[in-house]
């Protein structure tokens, strides 16, 4: 129901904007469409990947690997996957929601999303090129450790 209210509000604001300045509204909609076209391949790739993962791994397997009972082992698995996966945060949260519905634990998902957004194994060579080897490695190490702290805090607050 909340989503419908947000959609309705967006349509109302769009109509108000269109009434005030048709040219700017059309230009904004064209820019929004271009942005959507630019991110669509990433979204479709991630959704295809997630679909395959959910098709191959049953909720029982997800729960065993990343569930609450997986404990530290599940956190480490989630942190490694998050550290080596290159994905924008706006895609990570829906994936985390799907994994949560399929049996993953909150703490494990918190470390997954944290490492996904803060640690970049794949982008490390590029980061080292711009910031230097020492700073890049230190930043990634601290981000990795901080991801566990974030996960533990979330576990205490929401668990």
Residue ranges per structural domain of the chain: 1-56, 58-159
Q: How many angstroms separate the CA atoms of 53 and 42, rounded?
A: 16
- Kindly tell me the burial class for residue 74, based on how many C-beta atoms sit within 10 Å of its own C-beta (0-12, 13-18, 19 or more): buried
Cβ proximity of 70 and 78 under 8 Å: no
pLDDT value of residue 123: 86
pLDDT value of residue 157: 92
pLDDT value of residue 122: 85
The model's pTM: 0.68
DSSP-based three-state secondary structure for 29:
helix
Phi, psi angles (nearest 5°) of residue 138: -65, -45
Number of Cβ within a 10 Å radius of residue 135: 12
Cβ proximity of 78 and 115 under 8 Å: yes
pLDDT value of residue 34: 94
Closest CA to 60 of 71, 72, 69, 49: 69
Q: How many angstroms separate the CA atoms of 158 and 19, rounded?
A: 45
pLDDT value of residue 55: 77
Q: What is the pLDDT along the chain (159 residues), one digit of tens a residue?
A: 788 888 999 999 999 999 999 999 999 999 999 998 988 887 787 778 777 776 777 777 777 778 878 889 989 999 998 898 877 777 788 888 888 888 888 999 999 999 988 998 888 888 999 999 999 999 999 999 999 999 999 989 986
Q: How many angstroms separate the CA atoms of 106 and 130, rounded?
A: 35
pLDDT value of residue 145: 96
């Amino acid at each position: 129901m909340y989503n419908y209210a947000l959609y309705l509000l967006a349509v109302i604001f769009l109509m108000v904007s269109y009434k005030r300045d048709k040219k700017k509204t059309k230009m904004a909609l064209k820019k929004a469409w271009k942005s959507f076209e630019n991110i669509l391949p990433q979204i479709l790739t991630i959704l295809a990947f997630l679909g395959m993962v959910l098709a191959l791994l049953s909720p029982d397997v997800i729960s065993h690997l990343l569930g609450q009972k997986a404990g530290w082992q599940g956190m480490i698995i989630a942190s490694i996957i998050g550290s080596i996966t290159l994905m924008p945060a706006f895609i990570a949260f829906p994936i985390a929601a799907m994994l949560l519905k399929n049996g993953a634990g909150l703490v494990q998902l918190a470390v997954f999303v944290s490492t996904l957004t803060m640690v970049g194994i794949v982008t490390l060579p590029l980061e080292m090129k711009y910031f230097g080897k020492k700073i890049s490695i230190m930043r990634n190490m601290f981000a990795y450790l901080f991801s566990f702290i974030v996960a533990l805090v979330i576990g205490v607050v929401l668990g």
